[in-house]
Amino acid sequence: MPLLLLHAITFLAAFLLFQIELIVAKMLLPVYGGSYFVWGACLVFFQAFLLLGYLFVHLMSQKFGVRVYRKIQLAITFLPFLFFPGHLLKMDGAGMASFIAGDVFWRLLVTIGPVFFVLSTTGVALQMWLSASSLKEKTNPYALYATSNAGSLGALLTYPFLFEIVFDLTQQQQLWRLGYLALAVCNVLLFVKVPVAEAAPESAAPVPAAPKVHKILWFLLSAASVMLFMAVTNIMTYSIAPMPLLWVIPLSIYLLAFILSFKAKPWCPAWITDNIFFFLVGGSLLFFILQKKNFAAVELELLIFCLTLFFVCLYCQNQLVRHKPTSDRELTFFYLMISLGGFVGGVVTSWGMPLLSKSVIEYLLALTMIVFGVWMVAEEKASVTPPSLSDRLRNGSLVAVPILLCFFWVPELSGHNPALVLYKKRNYYGIYEVREFNGIRTLAHGTTMHGAQIRLPGLELEPTSFFSRTSALGEILGSSKFSFRNIGVIGLGVGAMANYTQPGQSMDIYELDPEMYNIAQDYFTYLKHAKGKIDIIYGDARRSLRERPDNKYDLFIVDAFGGDSIPFHLLTREAIAEYRKHLKPDGILLCHISNRFVRLEPVLVGVAEASGAQIGYRMTSGRPYGIPSAWAILTWNEAQFRDLVQNQQWLPIASLTKERYRVWTDDYSNIFPVLDLEKIKRSLLNFKLSSDL
């Protein structure tokens, strides 16, 4: 019973810790918008507070001992009831406009800071508690770390596949509060059921401290494995297939490696540890092949990357277990170094590398760090047991791996294939490439094309891609039936829509990433030759719209989800209400909904009906200068809608669509019913860069 209670509390604490991260991050999106800085600030906060919690346990236990610290742990467990979960979280309104990341960090600090801090201390504190108890399992308290990672994995898998589907954010909070109350009660039971054993006598033989090389390994392998799984996530979402929820797979693999390595009987086959250099060399070659785009099937590419990640992470976590401290007094320092490594690896990958590189070279950096870790392990083994011939060959191969990796680093720092790529830039929003081939210049964001321009004489200003004159957008903007004086647009792209403006017209373009303007201005000419007045407003559109006058626009165009990464907060009932507030009484809302993986029509039908709007749908080939695109149009003028249906070939999609799902709001969104499984299957079987079209 006592051991079961320890595992139950450890699992529940990790589950709640991981789940509150997802809940709060989603709550903040409608407040601040889908900006990277929201996710980036959340990531830094969570990692920093996890490190802070580990540091607190280490310092307090070293100062007061386990017997006193368990009283401290019990006391701080009830402290968060003065804040959250003592009451529901409120994230209404926004604060500092000039420093969003700092404002997000402050909100997290004063809302979930106390409870997140307490949860971050629980796992390590319970391991220390177990090691000082009289239970027979005290000899291996590290097995609780496997349980902790199992709790994190449980939260990761159940949130998008269960909680997010069934419950809105308010209900999720209520369930979470009940979960924390159960955790607090279990902690009281633990205090009663699992006392700390008497301290060992002073005359007992001291246990030797962990060697310095082991402490370096704790940090190095932890940082490298975090960087590796985040790099694989970036590779999948930037370069392979940016499908919704694909990021769950690398994180699940990372957590699974911890579970298998730290469980009571660790699992890591000898053929992995003995041949790790094959996986390191193979991983670097795999990255090179990806850059050359030599894979025929994306599903094979995904599988190989995931297997490489699993084997390498399993090696790293297994080495952490093998080199864990022999003294219980160093248990907390062991986890402090692991947490510090994870924090540094996460910050370098998420904040540093996007500013320093043009591609996902953190993948190569992580492999290089692991090479040094493997070399340190081999050197330590050689100092105890003279190496055999096979060991010498294997250790010698490790010298070749950094050389091989560095060979790939140089072209990745400067970009690749300069004959086709005119410009390449990576920032917090992804990787941009401007390419030119056969007289057509394109802008690719990851694997999604965001615009194109024909560079042939006489066709330079002809709108192309999704925005050609024969697209639904082109027909609306080019129609003599409409007179649009003021137009609002979410999403700049290459600036093709600006080409439709006429003298006397104004177009406000809301763009999240300032780099997009630099690209559109320097490598495309649509903005330079626009006849109307163009105003670029940077930042998240919903946040920026709050500062603009009401009833300003005759037409409002939403093009922010024309790619495959969906900013859900721009599709909710509250978002539609915000757009309508800024439209004139007869104004039109036009939404670009082309997507490779998600059917957005049912979502817009739901929010349109909830908003009292009429909704139409139109799909065109875009020929001869464009590509197929799908658009939805919303209007609150019934006569205007009848004209669109009867004379302009718009389909009354609400009456033709039988699917009805729960309306998306700022409090609830669920992607699963609208995933297009057939399109996903075809994309995986016949994957090709959108920019090749």
* CA of residue 599 relative to chain centroid, distance: 21
How are the residues of the chain apportioned to helix, strand and coil, as percentages rounded to the nearest 5? 60, 10, 30
Lowest mean pLDDT across 173-187, 188-202, 360-374, 611-625: 188-202
Question: For residue 598, what is the DSSP state?
Answer: B
pLDDT for position 489: 97
pLDDT for position 692: 36
User: 300 Cβ partners below 8 Å, 6+ apart?
Assistant: none
381 closest CA partner among 358, 398, 368, 400: 398
Alpha-carbon distance values, 135 to 4, 126, 132, 195, 251 (Å): 12, 13, 9, 10, 33
pLDDT for position 356: 85
Residue 88 CB neighbour total at 10 angstroms: 11
Answer whether 496's CB lies under 8 Å from 468's CB: no
Q: Is the pLDDT of residue 275 over 60?
A: yes
- pLDDT band per the 50, 70, 90 thresholds, residue 676: confident
pLDDT for position 247: 83
- The residue written with tokens 């993948």 in the block is 363
Q: Is the pLDDT of residue 411 over 60?
A: no
CATH 1.10.10 at 1-195, yes or no: no
Q: Is the pLDDT of residue 283 over 70?
A: yes
Rg of the chain taking only CA atoms, in angstroms: 28
Average pLDDT over residues 311-340: 94
List, as one string, the DSSP characters of 472-518: HHHHHHH-TT---SEEEEE--TTSGGGGG--TT-EEEEEES-HHHHH
34 versus 132: the higher-pLDDT residue is 132
Going 321 to 325 to 326 to 329, the CA torsion angle's sign is negative
Residue 32 CB neighbour total at 10 angstroms: 24
| Amino acid at site 521 | Q
CA 602/CA 654 separation, integer angstroms: 8
pLDDT for position 679: 64
Answer whether 441's CB lies under 8 Å from 453's CB: yes
Its pTM stands at 0.89
Antiparallel, parallel or unpaired: β 583-592 and 614-620: unpaired
**Percentage of the chain lying above the pLDDT 70 cut:** 86
384 versus 499: the higher-pLDDT residue is 499
208-259 pLDDT, tens digit each: 788 999 999 999 999 999 999 999 988 887 766 666 677 889 999 999 999 9
- The residue written with tokens 């909904």 in the block is 593
| 4 three-state secondary structure | helix
pLDDT for position 681: 62
Element (H, E) at 609: helix 601-610
Phi, psi of 153 (to 5 degrees): -65, -40
Average pLDDT over residues 447-475: 91
| 325 three-state secondary structure | coil
CA 566/CA 172 separation, integer angstroms: 22
Average pLDDT over residues 444-465: 89
- pLDDT band per the 50, 70, 90 thresholds, residue 649: very high
CA 487/CA 559 separation, integer angstroms: 13
pLDDT for position 92: 67
CA 639/CA 631 separation, integer angstroms: 20
pLDDT for position 404: 55
Lowest mean pLDDT across 33-42, 117-126, 460-469, 551-560: 33-42
Residue 655 CB neighbour total at 10 angstroms: 10
Alpha-carbon distance values, 664 to 290, 571, 673 (Å): 37, 7, 12
- pLDDT band per the 50, 70, 90 thresholds, residue 175: very high
pLDDT for position 288: 75
**Percentage of the chain lying above the pLDDT 90 cut:** 58
385 versus 396: the higher-pLDDT residue is 385
Average pLDDT over residues 291-313: 78
As a residue count, the chain comes to 693
CA 465/CA 279 separation, integer angstroms: 41
pLDDT for position 690: 38
- Residues linked to residue 617 through DSSP beta bridges, in sequence order: 632, 651
Q: Which two tokens stand for residue 292?
A: 């050359």
pLDDT for position 37: 65
Contacts made by residues 160-166, CB under 8 angstroms, sequence distance 24+: 160/245, 160/248, 161/672, 163/19, 164/26, 164/669, 164/670, 165/670, 165/672
pLDDT for position 659: 84
Whole-number average pLDDT of the chain: 86
| Amino acid at site 189 | L
- pLDDT band per the 50, 70, 90 thresholds, residue 286: confident
The three-point CA angle 217-127-340 to 5° equals: 35
Phi, psi of 186 (to 5 degrees): -65, -35
Average pLDDT over residues 260-274: 92
Q: Is the pLDDT of residue 415 over 50?
A: no
Phi, psi of 443 (to 5 degrees): -115, 120
Cis peptide before 411 (omega within 30 of 0): no
Lowest mean pLDDT across 361-370, 384-393, 498-507, 603-612: 384-393
pLDDT for position 501: 95
Q: Which of 34-48, 191-205, 217-231, 405-419 has the highest mean pLDDT?
A: 217-231
Average pLDDT over residues 73-97: 82
Lowest mean pLDDT across 191-195, 266-270, 316-320, 555-559: 191-195
Third-level CATH fold of 462-692: Rossmann fold (3.40.50)
313 closest CA partner among 233, 238, 408: 233
* C-alpha atoms less than 13 angstroms from C-alpha of 255 in its C-beta half-sphere: 19
pLDDT for position 674: 87
- pLDDT band per the 50, 70, 90 thresholds, residue 639: very high
Antiparallel, parallel or unpaired: β 553-558 and 486-490: parallel
39-72 pLDDT, tens digit each: 777 888 899 999 999 999 999 999 999 999 999 9
Sheet holding 533-538, edge to edge: 533-538, 506-511, 486-490, 553-558, 583-592, 629-635, 614-620
Alpha-carbon distance values, 43 to 16, 118, 180, 347, 667 (Å): 16, 18, 22, 8, 21
Q: Is the pLDDT of residue 379 over 90?
A: no
Angle between helices 677-685 and 298-322 (to 10 degrees): 90
pLDDT for position 98: 53
- pLDDT band per the 50, 70, 90 thresholds, residue 688: very low
Q: Is the pLDDT of residue 414 over 60?
A: no
563 versus 267: the higher-pLDDT residue is 267
pLDDT for position 1: 78
CA 42/CA 9 separation, integer angstroms: 25
